[in-house]
Structure 1
Amino acid sequence: MNKKGLAILMRTRMRPFSPGSNKLNHLEHVPIQGSKVSHEDIDSSGNTMKRDFGAVRESMHSAISMKKAEVLDSALDEFSEGYLDLSKNDRQSLLLILAKDYDLDRSQIHELMKQYLGLEASATGGKVDASTNEDGSCLAAFYRLERNIRYALKPQYEDLFERLNTHPGGLKFLSIMRADILSILEEENVVSLRALESYMKQKLITWLSPAVLELHQITWDDPASLLEKIVAYEAVHPVSNLVDLKRRLGVGRRCFGYIHPAVPGEPLIFIEVALQKNVSQTIQEVLWDEPSMHECEATCALFYSISSTQPGLKGINLGKFLIKRVIDLVKKDMPNIYTFATLSPIPGYTQWLLAKLVSAERSDSTFRENILEPEEERALHDASKELTGEKDAMKVLWNLLTSRKYEWIKSDELVSVLEAPLMRLCARYLLLEKKRGRALDSVANFHLQNGAMIGRINWMADRSEKGLCQSAGIMVNYLYRLEDIEENGQSYISTGTVHATDDIHGFLPGEA
């Protein structure tokens, strides 16, 4: 594809690739939830063709059990292509078969453990070492049984994963399979499928080690097929047109992606960076304002978007390694930059606040939590009289936040009155609200476990519909201080400690 083709893409907002089922290196994931393929599909000529579930199942069995290398590639191709042609229900059925029928042989494990325990009981004093037997035969028996137990503890589907990983297009196909598994588990917690997903995740973490990933700086001179991926997969701030894309790759901006040799020409994850004099407080100035200084004058690298391109790699934290690599590279190339920060969304804030408002409304006066301070209630009531006519300030806040017209941002008085309570509650949300000991907000959890600290929350930082819906327009700067990254990350992971500046703690005196 040339730049003209990319321009057409920008107008149509298409997803990348229209893969043929026989080309594994051109796979695109079609989520299992949205699959409308049935056993009777239509081929490229408009003819009806049947997809044989039994044949795909048989090709999967062959790909797992086959020993001959010369025919293994053909079996893997048949399975991969056949799987992609299956309907949603058939994919789910096949994955359940894989999880249950190709799991561990527990009867074999039980028998081996009995042998092991029997051997241990017969050893002198229950302790076995080289001196237990003059010829070391007892110790050798232990080693042999331990080796057999380790082998038996490997599920049969490991062979399929291992073989696909070394097969052309196999790594991307594995990510497609895992995305399908995750979508099934969102609807139903199948224990065997959960075990398969966990096993696959650990394999992918190993195979996607930073040592095998190439850090690539993406520029306007890259092939249009790669730029197409940036347009399609940008998840935080969608690319609106070619001018926007060129600006993000131009002077005062950087874009870096991790590319795996098995998925060439397609970043698994990418990050967008703005070079600035000061840490931006609004996304508008990052996306639309032209840089007001020469790059050599920049003292701050602002990470304003990080996007994963593979749904099947969810939960595999490639972003942690990407951010650290980018910091090292930028620091090396531009020693004058000493501040590394983000301008990040707060995707869970409004949802959390609305849940608090509902809870307060349903509670009696004894247990009702005062979300708003008395002075905030009075100010909000006075400012909203003409707009809502509602007397209860909590209901006023609910109505303003749930209205998709966002009338309140058109009123300077309401914008001013809402700033204090919404900023205070946002600081509480980021600092104090936890789930299983980790930050409730997904983006906060991501950056905090990577070693960042909460630096500043910014009022009216994102006036887009998405920003107003997610967080009432509030965004947050996370700071990556090189000398504190490792310590911050470790303390957060081990104890749930959220590191933040005094400015953040100042919103909640005596609470944090």
Structure 2
Amino acid sequence: MASRALDIYQSLSEDDKRAFFGALAKDFAADPDQIDEAYRIYKSDRSNKHLAVLFRVCEPLRQELLRRLNLAQGATYELVKMRQDFLTLMKGHKDFESINADFVHLFASWFNRGFLVLKRIDWTTPASILEKIIRYEAVHKIQGWDDLRRRLDDRDRRCFGFFHPSIGDEPLIFVEVALTKGIPDKIQPILADDQYDIDAPELADSAAFFGISNCQVGLRGISFGNFLIKQVVQELKQELPNLKNFVTLSPLPTFRSWLEKTYQQ
């Protein structure tokens, strides 16, 4: 039944999807009368038993609906894509904000750090994943396969991503790292396709995180970046004990020229 429901959802028009979310907001909300009654009982007897009942009736029915939909094969990724639709359709609908909170609440549990798998992405990674890396790169656009291969070069580059067992080869987030001798002060040499700061990874003393990209719009608001960077630092330390500096290079094109011009004024 869950599979059938998700198939039907995918066939809906944009207006019908909006109506579906409208039904979730109205018909699958928590019952105010049950909440009032449970609170009245809990207020007179603040036991854990009555607190549990209060928690239960405060949970909107749509959370249970989403959990049941998630029982279908491949449903987790379908629900991520459903939220991607929802984020577009919720604009201008204040009554949809509670649905968004439910999605975030459930996804925060389903995509808990304990379920995420860290994988190194290199030139031996399946092409289906590499194609997605090119498509999802949101910081420094990858200019085709040659550019991608340069960014994955074993000599002075590393790339790592988080994956989730329930959604297969769809990356959740990935980070690109440049291995350098000394702390770099600009991004251009790192992005150049013909410059190498070191001839072997063991010669590097610094790792510069120069691009991190969230891949799934439907997981917006679910934090992965902090965990990813911290674990990648540990992976790099284990592989390359000579690394001493871990830094980021945040892209702000033309910022320096703007700042100099503004400061002079």
Deviation at 1:421, TM superposition (A): 3.8
Paired position in structure 2 for 1:334: 240
Moved more, 291-300 or 302-311: 291-300
TM-score (norm 1): 0.48
Deviation at 1:205, TM superposition (A): 1.1
- Cα deviation, 1:235-277, whole Å, max 9, x if unaligned, reads 1111112111111111211110001000111211111111011
State the distance in 1 between where 2:126 and 2:104 align.
Answer: 31
Deviation at 1:89, TM superposition (A): 1.3
Aligned residues between the structures: 262
Change in CA separation of 1:257 and 1:245 when aligned onto 2, cut-off 3 Å: same
Does 1:284 find its partner at 2:124? no
Paired position in structure 1 for 2:202: 296
| The one of 301, 308, 311 aligned to 2:214 | 308
Paired position in structure 1 for 2:116: 213
Paired position in structure 1 for 2:82: 177
Paired position in structure 1 for 2:5: 79
The 5-angstrom pairing of residues 247-266 of structure 1 reads 247-250=150-153, 251-266=155-170
The 5-angstrom pairing of residues 365-380 of structure 1 reads none
Does 1:147 find its partner at 2:52? yes
State the distance in 1 between where 2:173 and 2:71 align.
Answer: 21
Change in CA separation of 1:107 and 1:280 when aligned onto 2, cut-off 3 Å: same
- Cα deviation, 1:75-97, whole Å, max 9, x if unaligned, reads 11111121122111111110111
Q: Over the residues paired in the alignment, what is the CA RMSD in angstroms?
A: 2.4
CA contact (8 A) 2:5 2:69 kept: no
State the distance in 1 between where 2:196 and 2:251 align.
Answer: 22
- Cα deviation, 1:125-170, whole Å, max 9, x if unaligned, reads xxx7xxxxxxxxxxxxx45433322221111111122223443222
- Partner of 2:165: helix, strand, or coil? coil
State the distance in 2 between where 1:310 and 1:176 align.
Answer: 8
Instruction: Give the unaligned 5+ runs of structure 1.
Output: 1-74, 121-127, 129-141, 351-414, 426-512
Change in CA separation of 1:156 and 1:220 when aligned onto 2, cut-off 3 Å: same
Change in CA separation of 1:143 and 1:272 when aligned onto 2, cut-off 3 Å: closer
Which letter maps to 1:96?
G
Deviation at 1:100, TM superposition (A): 1.4
Instruction: Give the unaligned 5+ runs of structure 2.
Output: none
State the distance in 2 between where 1:204 and 1:174 align.
Answer: 9
Paired position in structure 2 for 1:357: none
Does 1:105 find its partner at 2:31? yes
CA contact (8 A) 2:121 2:158 kept: yes
Which letter maps to 2:76?
L
The 5-angstrom pairing of residues 119-268 of structure 1 reads 119-120=44-45, 142-185=47-90, 187-191=91-95, 193-250=96-153, 251-268=155-172
Identity of aligned residues (%): 35
- Partner of 1:216: helix, strand, or coil? strand
State the distance in 1 between where 2:178 and 2:2 align.
Answer: 43
State the distance in 2 between where 1:195 and 1:111 align.
Answer: 22
Deviation at 1:303, TM superposition (A): 0.8
Deviation at 1:171, TM superposition (A): 1.5
CA contact (8 A) 2:161 2:173 kept: yes
Which letter maps to 2:98?
A
Change in CA separation of 1:166 and 1:281 when aligned onto 2, cut-off 3 Å: farther
State the distance in 1 between where 2:131 and 2:263 align.
Answer: 37
